[in-house]
Structure 1
Amino acid sequence: MEAAHIPPVPIPVEAGPKGKPRKRGGLISILRWRFREDRQPWPVLPPDPAPAGDPHRLPPPGAVSVTFIGHSSFLIRLPNLTILTDPVFSDRCSPVSWAGPKRARPPGRAFRDLPKIDLLLLSHNHYDHMDFPSLRAIRRRDDPVVVTPLGNARHLAKVGLNRVTELDWWGETRLADGTSITVTPARHFSARTLWDRGQSLWGGFMLKTGRHQIFFAGDSGHGRHWATIGQRLGSPDLALIPIGAYEPRQIMAAVHVNPAEAVAAHVAMGARQSIGMHFGTFKLTDEPIGAPPRDMAAARAAAGLADDAFVTLGSGETRLFSL
């Protein structure tokens, strides 16, 4: 029962068909790693008192405004659409408020300071991506449309979110403004308890608006699916790719890319620009808090990419990207 209070408990798996993971390791080795006494804590970081940019300012045509709230939570603004990804504003990513991974830094922007949300993209049901208190607050204020992989609507109904579209991998839906959203494959797994592993699907999202595409990866290990996404859907103009929660590799490689693999994913998809995510907020794994951006920059240089081809944003920073 204790393991359920330290979510997510990673299990080495590969993505099987229809949300059925194929295990590559056992739970005992995971729990031994989780409860090691020599794991180093992260420092607690203060909020940025004046993060750069204005999340309320709409981008001009041909551009997108991106605000990094923390972990995998981003505010993405197009001229006709405001999107929030995997929103987590709580102090812990856990089924309880008194245990589980605690934030190393507060959200870069408070929910009350964000504009009205039109669309939620929810990649999977882990507690660091699907946070019920945050979702309740969003539903009460904005009641947005939600797009998510198969099997997650039952969770969202518990917080009153009913405008939900569930999609299988490669499934597509179209919004009233013409924006299309396709759920894409990922190497990961799902679970909110010890008893519901693999009962819902996980994935990423490709948004197409006009001639431009934006990709949000969710969580994933490395694999051929990155190239397949680019081949089937076209290369994204902007991709949001995880770079953190990757050590130790013998446990994490199946479900989380490391920074070098994130850069390889950027190249495999043919992304024009990418933003790193899933780092520096919750201590889920063993790497130091500052390692993911540093290692990503080294991998970017080793791949011969320009400094602005793959970047990270400061906590709460809002930045315009040309599409």
Structure 2
Amino acid sequence: MDNQLAAATTQMPDTQTKGMKFSNEKTIAPMSFSKNLEVIFRFLTEKKVDAIPSQNLPIERLTNTQLDELSNDEIHVIKLVHSSVLLKIYGEIWLLDPVFSDRASPVSFFGPKRFHDLPIELKDIKHIDKVLISHNHYDHLDKNTIKHVAQITEQFLVPLGVKSDLIRWGVHENKVIEFDWWQELEVNQGLIAFTPTQHFSGRAISDGNKTLWGSWVIKTANNSIYFSGDSGYFKGFAEIGEKYGPFDLTMIETGAYDKNWSEIHMTPEQSVQAHLDLKGKIMMPIHNSSFDLAFHAWYEPLERVTTAATTKGISLTTPIIGQVLTLSKMPKTTNWWHAFK
């Protein structure tokens, strides 16, 4: 662990920060007071259509026994919630941006509420080898989840600045490794790298951009996986593809987009282009079908990304929540949401 910490952890670099705050490679105009008022006014007055499903969404239930029985010589991928993904990588259990709370919110009684059941309860996961966090927004970094898994997780891989939160929530500091953009960590399975995105961070009014944000590259001897976190479309996808691609699977943000925050979240069409930039083979849309975070219908991201993928001739997989995908034999995509619109 000590060697890994020495290899992967650095001080906050001046090249990424301005006045102890992180910034994107491209200057992104902050949301002005008037823009924030416009968004608030829209949320209060604009009529949403099908923002939440009118019936229960399909789910494949999971147990710890089922996870144990998955083969240890392959990579298995399971979408749990929103952008939360469980990976079984050659026998190890990894969680990406795990959010098991009912709401993506600082409080339990208000804020976006998950509109489907969990495929597996957190208490039923007995051991976790790695937790990877892309950034500290509430729909990606969940305090209650971290507190629950603090004692059963071997390692937490997080962006610069996030470590202090995890320590306050009960994670031992020796378990946490912080990453700057382009930093790499050698692991038993191969290589993990933290790569740029075009986004921002913050969990309160006063802490904007005081922690870093990014995406994850996971490379093994036989396969490469990309996990986008959140991002607007930017040239960095092509740079990541050039350095680490091609990718057997890209898990790319596809949802919660809007004209008012177009530089920090992608439209589905941009998500497909990001997949192409990354030199991806199969794309799995994430960041959808769990929380009402924008003004579009809950199923619109899946509709639009399917159309865009067909137009561009790329392979898409759209699993239902809890469905086990095995990287070596990915199933054909199904438009499961059509029956629940």
Select which of 269, 273, 281 maps to 1:272. 281
Residues 201-240 of structure 1 mapped to structure 2, 5 A cutoff: 201-240=212-251
Q: What CA distance in whole angstroms lies between the structure 2 residues aligned with 1:222 and 1:38? A: 26
How many residues are treated as equivalent by the alignment? 300
One-letter code of the match for 1:173?
L
Counterpart in 1 of 2:78? 67
Residues 1-323 of structure 1 mapped to structure 2, 5 A cutoff: 17-18=16-17, 19-20=22-23, 22-24=27-29, 25-36=31-42, 37-40=45-48, 41-43=51-53, 45-46=55-56, 48=58, 50-51=60-61, 54-59=66-71, 61=73, 63-114=74-125, 116-140=127-151, 142-161=152-171, 162=173, 163-175=175-187, 177-247=188-258, 249=259, 251-305=260-314, 309-322=315-328
Equivalent position SS for 2:128: coil
Deviation at 1:79, TM superposition (A): 1.4
Decide whether aligned partners of structure 1 residues 28 and 106 sit closer, same or farther in structure 2, where only a CA change above 3 A counts. Answer: farther
CA RMSD in angstroms comes to: 2.0
The superposition leaves residues 237-260 of structure 1 with CA deviations (integer Å, 9 ceiling, x where unpaired) of 11111111112x2x2211111111
Decide whether aligned partners of structure 1 residues 58 and 283 sit closer, same or farther in structure 2, where only a CA change above 3 A counts. Answer: same
Larger fraction in helix: 2
Equivalent position SS for 2:69: coil
Deviation at 1:84, TM superposition (A): 0.2
Deviation at 1:101, TM superposition (A): 1.1
Equivalent position SS for 1:133: helix
Equivalent position SS for 1:56: helix
One-letter code of the match for 1:314?
I
Q: What CA distance in whole angstroms lies between the structure 2 residues aligned with 1:114 and 1:87? A: 12
Q: What CA distance in whole angstroms lies between the structure 1 residues aligned with 2:263 and 2:304? A: 19
Q: What CA distance in whole angstroms lies between the structure 2 residues aligned with 1:318 and 1:31? A: 42
One-letter code of the match for 2:158?
T
Deviation at 1:50, TM superposition (A): 4.2
Counterpart in 2 of 1:11? none
Q: Does the CA-based 8 Å contact 1:86-1:129 persist in structure 2?
A: yes
The superposition leaves residues 105-136 of structure 1 with CA deviations (integer Å, 9 ceiling, x where unpaired) of 12232223335210000000000000000111
Equivalent position SS for 1:322: helix
Deviation at 1:47, TM superposition (A): 5.7
Deviation at 1:51, TM superposition (A): 4.2
TM-score by length of 2: 0.82
Q: Does the CA-based 8 Å contact 1:91-1:106 persist in structure 2?
A: no
One-letter code of the match for 1:292?
P
Q: Indicate the percent of aligned positions where both proteins have the same amino acid.
A: 31
Decide whether aligned partners of structure 1 residues 76 and 31 sit closer, same or farther in structure 2, where only a CA change above 3 A counts. Answer: farther
Deviation at 1:55, TM superposition (A): 3.5
Equivalent position SS for 1:112: helix
Decide whether aligned partners of structure 1 residues 129 and 45 sit closer, same or farther in structure 2, where only a CA change above 3 A counts. Answer: farther
Q: What CA distance in whole angstroms lies between the structure 1 residues aligned with 2:70 and 2:207? A: 40
Select the structure of larger CA radius of gyration.
2
The superposition leaves residues 134-177 of structure 1 with CA deviations (integer Å, 9 ceiling, x where unpaired) of 1111113x1330111111101111111231111110011123x2
Q: What CA distance in whole angstroms lies between the structure 2 residues aligned with 1:233 and 1:50? A: 32
Deviation at 1:236, TM superposition (A): 1.5
Decide whether aligned partners of structure 1 residues 310 and 34 sit closer, same or farther in structure 2, where only a CA change above 3 A counts. Answer: farther
Equivalent position SS for 2:327: strand
